Structure 1
Amino acid sequence: MSTVRILHAIRSDGFAGVEQLVLRLAIAQADAGSTVHVIGGDPARMARPLADAGVRHTATADRAWAVAQAIHRHAGDADIVNSHMTAADVAASVALAGLRDAPPLVSTRHFARRRGRLAALPVGRVVASRISAEIAISEAVAAAIEGPSTVVHPGVPKRDAVDHAARHRTVLVAQRLEPEKRTRMAMEVFAASGVARDGWRLMIAGEGVERLLLETTAAELGLTDVVTFLGFRTDVPNLMDAAGLLLATAEFEHFGLTVLEAMASGLPVVASDAGGHRETLSNLDPRVLFPVDDIAGAARRLRELVSDSDGRHRLGDAERRRQQSAFSLDAQREATEAVYRRSMTLPGRR
């Protein structure tokens, strides 16, 4: 598969979890010998690292038509088109429908929900005849979407081990400050755990619409002196290498890339028992996963791990081993390319 020509398409000019996944996967594919071209995503965050890896990048406006035009221009140089999210699926389907010898289209599904509607027409019906195969980023996503898919978990780069003694007494929350992430709950968990009395602090990295509300919440919970709002950070891996625990309180994660990044760092995690967290963290330690919305249960698990330094260190080491064995970039690349190979050998495909 080393000579395959891959065209990734995103209808986005931002840089969130989907764009990060595409960036990492494209670079890994190029490093393995493929010719890779990415359409869409934030040029300020993606163009330089892609160029450094020998990956071509075409910036587009956040409009499906602009993405469709770019795909139409460049699909002739591709053996496979990999679209990401519904808008890109539609753009790719339209673009490839006008080509005589179109490459197969593989859609990666990033969210645990069915496709919506385009005007009065279900989007799934629009794209179904064009898509050769679908990839789901987690079992949770595969169970929720319409039709069959192949689960290919995201991977992250291998990280060097961190000396446990170098970690600080900080609980890190790294996420968008949006309602669905339940950052207020994370603050309530921290307050209820009482770990601040042992010298632990709460660090919150991220920005969003709840920032001012959360600062008020800190005062209400008596956390003003022990919580720090770090804002948007580009050095989250460094924060993870220095922290003592990661707290992830979202009601549902389609996969949970932040948790996986913490695992790569060997940073112990306490997370909600839902969605992708179950796939990454299950059976490592009974104190890792807490029932959704259970503030008292989450606080108890946080307190127990803070009080058990040896157990905390063992958990971090076990997480890191699991990430390297089950959620590596090489594993993601190989599983993705297996889907590509099957799609390219379907009848009528080149």
Structure 2
Amino acid sequence: MRVIHLIKATGVAGAERHLLDLLPGLRARGCDARLLVLVERRRPADEFLEEARRRGVPAGREVIGGDVDPLLCARLALRLRRERPALLHTHLIHADLHGLAAARLARGPEVVTTRHNDDPFRRRWPVRPLLRLCWRGVAGGIAVSRAVRHFSREAEGAPATLPVVHHGIAPPESEDREAVRASLGLDRGALVAGMLCRLTAQKGAADGLAAFAAAARAHPGAILLLAGDGPERAALERRAALLGIGERTRFLGWRDDANRILWALDVLIAPSRWEGFGLVVLEAMARGVAVLATRAGALPELVADGETGLLAAPGDVEALAAGLARLLGDAGLRARLGAAGRERARERFGLARMVAETLAVYERALRDAGGTA
């Protein structure tokens, strides 16, 4: 069964990282999974494509000329006729809209879509009616969390039977904690908290900075790492200085080794205002890192409050600060939550489960559409 995965990308964020795990897993199960990336002319997503190819996934690209590009639909239709996949699997809104139009122009294949987030912009005009229209044309769909399924049903008219397939990850290869810390210029015994995220309003990094400033008063040697980039970086750097933690906060910028940085942390802070899944939280849990997160979106599906991490309400800086103070001040609590989180990640969020459940969605979509797997 040949399946083309279509996504618009400018870098490697959560949805892209998910595909880098999923597609090799599908290929290992005999599915001819391929990647097609919609790119902006000045942002060709080279790293994403190269990493996919390094993992054995055939990968190509098409340039998208704007939010709506009719010529792209025509080019995609020609590609679909040439490659003749059984399914087109779309990810994120640009791929959803252009992919479905192209499949109709090509008179096949059937389309499956994954909903990755609960971004409020999906409620706006004209996005909302377009997405509602898309659901009428697809053969199957996936939500990456129960929170995203609820949002998609309420905001987009997704079917009540939309299956949830949580992201899965392979067990991480162990790295020497002290070697990772040394590479980052961290003292051996330092208390280190971190945020690994795009620097956008969604991720709540300003709340994380404020929580660290309050909680770290009792821990003058504590350090905050912030790995990621985005439109809020300059404002966050100013904010850190105003909070008096400028010298204790290290802005690392975008890193292609972000998962490696997790080994250096005592605590991961995930202060998101909304969150479709939260893959970095799962990656931290898999490494035994204690997690402090908000109850935004899917995060409570990953983190059991008080058992595998601590949770606070989105935007509640006081609660975030209290949770962080507990974690920074109690090595035993960090160890207990980290160990339980590692076990939860291993038991519930494995890569093989995600691959098997995705294949089941494909088989159901083809069966319902009258095709064959």
When the two structures are superposed, what TM-score results if normalisation uses the length of structure 1?
Answer: 0.90
Is residue 224 from structure 1 mapped to residue 246 from structure 2 by the alignment? yes
Cα distance in 2 for residues equivalent to 1:292 and 1:327: 24
Q: Among 354, 358, 366, which residue is 1:332 paired with?
A: 354
SS state at 2:118 partner: coil
User: Where does 1:39-78 land on structure 2 (aligned, <5 Å)?
Assistant: 39-40=36-37, 43-63=45-65, 64-65=69-70, 66=72, 69-74=75-80, 76-78=83-85
Deviation of residue 93 (structure 1)? 1.9
Partner of 2:158: 147
User: Where does 1:85-234 land on structure 2 (aligned, <5 Å)?
Assistant: 85-100=92-107, 102-112=108-118, 114=122, 122-124=129-131, 126-145=133-152, 146-148=157-159, 149-160=162-173, 168-194=190-216, 197-234=219-256
1:324 maps to amino acid? R
Q: Contact 1:195–1:306 (CA<8 Å) still a contact in 2?
A: no
Deviation of residue 35 (structure 1)? 1.2
Deviation of residue 331 (structure 1)? 1.3
1:176 maps to amino acid? R
Q: Contact 1:194–1:303 (CA<8 Å) still a contact in 2?
A: yes
Deviation of residue 31 (structure 1)? 2.5
Cα distance in 1 for residues equivalent to 2:189 and 2:146: 33
Partner of 1:300: 322
Percent identity reads 30
Q: Contact 1:86–1:115 (CA<8 Å) still a contact in 2?
A: no
Cα distance change of structure 1 residues 44 and 328 upon mapping to structure 2, 3 Å threshold:
same
Q: CA offsets per residue over residues 90-145 of structure 1, 9 Å max, x none? A: 22222222334x232111111226576669x9314543443011101111110011
Cα distance in 2 for residues equivalent to 1:246 and 1:323: 15
Moved more, 46-55 or 151-160: 46-55
Deviation of residue 153 (structure 1)? 0.8
Q: Contact 2:117–2:276 (CA<8 Å) still a contact in 1?
A: yes
Partner of 2:2: 5
Q: Structure 2: give runs of 5+ residues left out of the alignment.
A: 39-43, 179-187
Cα distance in 1 for residues equivalent to 2:45 and 2:57: 13
Deviation of residue 80 (structure 1)? 1.7
Q: Structure 1: give runs of 5+ residues left out of the alignment.
A: none
Q: Contact 2:142–2:165 (CA<8 Å) still a contact in 1?
A: yes
Cα distance in 2 for residues equivalent to 1:308 and 1:199: 15
Q: Among 271, 277, 281, which residue is 1:259 paired with?
A: 281
Cα distance change of structure 1 residues 118 and 300 upon mapping to structure 2, 3 Å threshold:
closer
Cα distance in 1 for residues equivalent to 2:225 and 2:324: 15
RMSD: 2.5
